[in-house]
Amino acid sequence: MIFLPLILFWISLLLFMKFKTKWKISFYIYLFFILLFITFTNIYYGFSYFTWKWLDNSVLYYFRYWTEWTWWLEYKKLILVSILLVLFSLLFLIYYLRLYSKKWINDWINNIFYNKISFILLFFSFFFHPLMNNILELNWFYEEGDYLKSYGLVFEDYYKKPIFKDIDKKKNIIFIYLESYEKLYLDEDLFPGLSNWLNNLKNNSIYFDNLYQAYWTSWTIAWMVGSQCWIPLILPSKINTSDLNTSYLSWAYCIWDYLKKAWYNLNYIWWSSMKFAGKWDFYKSHWFDSLEWKDEIVNNLEDKNYLYSWWLYDDTVFDYTYKKYDELIKKDQPFWLFMLSMDTHWDSGVISNKCNNLKYDNDESSILNSYHCTDYLLSDFLKKIKNHPNFEDTIIFIASDHYAMDNNNSYNILDKNKDNRWMLFLIHNVDEKNNEIINKKWDTLDIWATVLSYLWFPVEQLWLWIDLLNNNKNRDSNIILSLWKKEYEKFWE
C-alpha cells in the first residue's frame, strides 16, 4: 500500500522544517532523497494507470521494444501531469534551499534528534514503497538446486520438440481472445444480465473452470507468447532489442510451427499498428500466412475515420474477421483464424457504433457497457458463422487474454471477489452439442496442449503443460516457471 510510505514521508517532511546542521552536505543529501521519493511516487502513479503491479515486466517490455509516438500521445495528459509534478518538486526544493541558506544555523546539537528521526522516517518511506518491492520482484527467481531436484525436473528432459504425427480430419479453427474478459463478468450474482450470450455459450460448450494466470503472462503479447510457445515472455537485460525485428523467439517451438507442418493456413487479425508490441515480428517468425492489421483494414472501410485513437473498434474487427472466414472457408485448406478484441480495455472502455442503443449501465463512463457490447458483438459474429452455408467442421475457441486491470472502473467489485477470479476459456464445436465443465486447477499455459489434443493431435503432455481433457495431474506451474527463468532467457540468445 502507498498510504504508509506517504504518511512516513510527510511526517519526515514536517521534521525537515527543524532540520539544522553545520554540514551542508547532509542537508543536500536529505533534499536529494526527498526529490527521489517524489519521483518514485510519480512513477508509481504513472505506471499504475497501465498495470495492476505498477512496475512490472510489461512496462519494461513496452519501453524497450515499442516506441511508436501515436501510442504515447494517447496518454499526453498523464505525461503532462507527471512532468508538472516533477517540476513542482524541483521548485519546492529550490524554495527550501533558498530559505535554508538565509537562516543558516551553526548550533545544530539541539536539533540532532529531529535530524535523525527525519532521516529514519524517510528511509522507511522508501523501504515500504510498493515501487521498491516491484523492482526487487523483477529480478526474483529460484536458483536451480535441491529445490529444483525435489520436483524431479530438468529443463532439457522436458523441453524437446514433440514428435509430429499428422491427422486425416482437420477442423477449421476460429480462436478469439477477449480483452480483459475474466470469469467474474459471467457471474449473474455480481453482474446480472451482463454476459447473457457468453453464459448461454458456456452452457453449450466445454468450459474450463479454475484457470489461473501464469507468471509473466499478465499482458496481451506475453499471454500470446506464453500460451502459444509454452515459454514465458522474459526479456533478458543483455538483449539487443533491435534484433527482435528480425528474429522474435524464432528458436522457440510454438503451436504455429506444429500446425504449419499439418498444412494449416495461419491467419491473424488485430486492431492496431503492425508494430504494436512486436506482434508482427513474433508471428512472421512463426510462419503465418496472413497478418492483417489496422492500416490494411481501414483501407477497406467505408468510413476511414471510424477509429478510436490508435485502434479499431470491435465491431469493425468482428466484421472483418467474418469476411476473412468467408474467404478462407471457400479454399480447400484447413485454417486457423485468430483475432483479438479491444473495446474492454483501459478504465472505462469504448463503445462500438453497433452498441449505441445497447447500454448495461446508466453511467456512460462505466466499462460494463463495453463488456455488454462485446458480449453482443460476439453473439452477432457467431450467429453469422453458424448461418454460413459451409460452416461445418468449424471449432471456436474463446479465451481471456489476461485479468481485468486495476484501472478498470468495475475493479472494486472484482477485488471484493478476488478469491473467485479466474481466466475464461471454452471450446465450442458447432457440429456437436457440448455441455461439460472441466473443474480442476490449471493455468493458461495448458491451453494449447489441450487444444491440440481436442483436434486429435496425439498430445497428452506438451513439455510441462498437460491436456486437461485427459490428464489429471496437478502441479503449481508458477513455481516451475520461476525455477527455469534463466533457461527461458536463453531463447533470446
Read off the pLDDT of residues 399-410 as tens digits, 9 standing for 90 and up: 999 999 877 899
- pLDDT for the residue numbered 476: 66
Q: Judge if 339 and 468 occupy the same domain.
A: yes
Higher pLDDT, 142 or 193: 193
Q: In one letter, which amino acid is 348?
A: S
Domain-ending residue, one of 117, 138, 159: 138
Whole-number pLDDT of residue 272: 80
183 sits in the region (left: phi over 0; alpha: psi -120 to 50; else beta) called alpha
Same domain, 285 and 341: yes
User: Which residue range is the domain that position 389 belongs to?
Assistant: 167-492
Please indicate, yes or no, whether residues 97 and 181 belong to a single structural domain of this protein: no
Residue 67 pLDDT > 80, yes or no? Answer: no
Range in 56-65, 88-97, 353-362 with the lowest mean pLDDT: 56-65
Q: Which residues pair with 428 in a beta bridge?
A: 396
Q: What is the mean pLDDT of residues 151-170?
A: 69
Pairwise CA distance, residues 441 & 472, whole Å: 10
Q: What is the mean pLDDT of residues 141-166?
A: 61
Do 289 and 381 lie in one domain? The reply is yes
Same domain, 232 and 362: yes
Q: Is 283 exposed, middle or buried (0-12, 13-18, 19+ CB in 10 A)?
A: buried
* Best CA proximity match to 252, nearest among 291, 220, 218, 287: 287
Total number of domains constituting the chain:
2
Which pLDDT value is given to residue 148? 57
Strands 290-292, 206-212: pairing kind: unpaired
Across the range 448-467, mean pLDDT stands at 74
Domain boundary (138, 153, 187) is at: 138
Q: Is residue 205 part of a domain?
A: yes
Residues 302/281, Cβ–Cβ less than 8 Å: no
pLDDT at 187 over 80: yes
Report which listed range, 56-70, 160-174, 273-287, 309-323, is most confident: 309-323
**Is the C-alpha dihedral spanning 409, 233, 254, 460 positive or negative?**
negative
Under the banding of pLDDT at 50, 70 and 90, the label for residue 238 is: low
Length of the chain: 493
pLDDT band at 142 (very low <50, low <70, confident <90, very high): very low
| Domain final residue, candidates 138, 154, 176 | 138
Most confident of 46-55, 75-84, 186-195, 381-390: 186-195
In this structure, the answer to whether residues 288 and 328 fall within a common structural domain is: yes
- What pLDDT does residue 147 have? 54
**Mean pLDDT across the stretch 195-211?**
93
At 442, list the grid cell: 490449471
Quick one: pLDDT band at residue 321, thresholds 50, 70, 90? very high
Q: Show the cell assigned to 378.
A: 460476439
Q: Round to whole Å and give the CA distance between 68 and 488.
A: 27
Q: What is the CATH number of the domain that holds 237?
A: 3.40.720.10
160 belongs to a structural domain: no
**What pLDDT shows up at residue 460?**
58
Mean pLDDT calculated for residue range 181-188: 96
Q: How far apart are CA 214 and CA 278, in angstroms?
A: 21
Whether 132 and 175 map to the same domain: the answer is: no
Cβ within 8 Å of residue 89, ≥6 positions away: 35, 38, 39, 42
- pLDDT of residue 104 exceeding 60, the answer is no
Question: At residue 389, does pLDDT exceed 70?
Answer: yes
CA distance linking residue 340 with residue 314, whole number of Å: 9
Residue 150's pLDDT band, with cuts at 50, 70 and 90, is low
Helix, strand, or coil here: 396?
Answer: strand
Say yes or no: 96 and 205 in one domain. Answer: no
The model's pTM: 0.81
275, amino acid identity: K
The listed range with the strongest mean pLDDT (66-75, 115-124, 360-369) is 360-369
Q: Average pLDDT, stretch 14-29?
A: 68
Q: Is 297 a member of any domain?
A: yes
Pull the grid cell for residue 218.
499478465
Q: Do 129 and 178 belong together in one domain?
A: no
pLDDT at 323 over 80: yes
Q: Name the average pLDDT for the chain.
A: 79
Q: Does the pLDDT at position 140 exceed 60?
A: no
129 and 195 co-located in one domain: no
Residue with cell 512496475: 55
pLDDT band at 485 (very low <50, low <70, confident <90, very high): confident
> What are the residues whose beta carbons fall under 8 Å from the beta carbon of 224, sequence distance 6 or more?
177, 279, 282, 401
**Average pLDDT over every residue of 183-205:** 95
- Do 410 and 266 share a structural domain? yes
Q: Over 60: is that where the pLDDT of 11 sits?
A: yes
Task: With H, G, I as helix, E, B as strand and everything else as coil, classify residue 397.
Answer: strand
**Is residue 130 in a domain?**
yes
pLDDT at 178 over 80: yes
Q: Is the separation of the CB atoms in 324 and 303 below 8 Å?
A: no
Backbone angles phi, psi at 199, to 5 degrees: -65, -40
Name the range with the highest mean pLDDT among 252-261, 278-287, 366-375: 366-375
